[in-house]
Amino acid sequence: MGTVTKALSLLGYFSQTRPEIGLSELARLSGMNKATVYRMMSELVDQGFAEQTRQGKSYRLGPEVLRLAALREAAVPLLSVAREMLMQLSESTGETAHVSIVQGTRLNALAHQYSPRHGTRVMMEDAEVLSFHGTASGLAVLAFAEPAFVDAVLARPLVAHTAKTETRPDAIRARIAAIRATGLAESVGGFEADVHSLAVPVFGPDAQPIGALAVAAPVARMTPDLAACAAEALRRCAADLTRRTGGFAPEPLPEEA
């Protein structure tokens, strides 16, 4: 891993639930020594990608991150279009809809939409890091990703998020092969207990998956009728999102489960 990659990887540890991180914690999370982390964070601060809090004891993301995000959104309005799709998904299914995006070797939740139809719902966090092997969204991405990307993901330690998380690489490969045949990924309790989710990939200009659209519901509420409704809505919305953001789906893409 090069110096630039190491420095930028430090930014990936910041999230909505962890907006500020101290030097010692960054060193622990990254596995790098404190002197190296301090030097890299100082350079990121100088360039505006990070900044120190007023107390000077921790770091947070800097204004340059916001500027680049605004430029990206202006050029490819993924988030604004995705929010339209999430609204449609939530209204048609009555459940939580969310979109995630591949960023390097991570899958990050980008946005979500709740339905007011039920008091009990699957809760999400924007910028939450999702696992590729434990979520329907991650499996949808792996099913259509380049073999080298899949190999890299499955070569890493695979965390068992719940008792139902599949962590055997061979079994995961068999699952994503089946997903390629249907175009629809499914996870029942693989990332959170009692959550049943369905997902389909969203593609970029090179016909490679850039993320996924998903619908998540409590296990008891995911009936066959709801699953069929969600699958149809997901395919329609993902195709629309891919098209409107300049992407292309690989041919032929399965259209029926």
Instruction: Encode pLDDT of 53-75 as tens digits.
Output: 877 789 999 998 888 876 666 55
Is 0.95 surpassed by the pTM of this model? no
Domain ranges of the chain: 3-67, 77-244
Do the beta carbons of residue 28 and residue 34 sit within 8 Å?
no
Give the three-class secondary structure for 60: strand
| Alpha carbon distance 95, 122 (integer Å) | 8
- Lowest-confidence segment of 50-54, 94-98, 153-157 by average pLDDT: 50-54
Q: CATH number for the 77-244 domain, one of 3.30.450.40, 3.40.50.10490, 1.10.1780.10, 3.40.50.300?
A: 3.30.450.40
Q: What pLDDT sits at residue 124? A: 87
The DSSP call for residue 257 is -
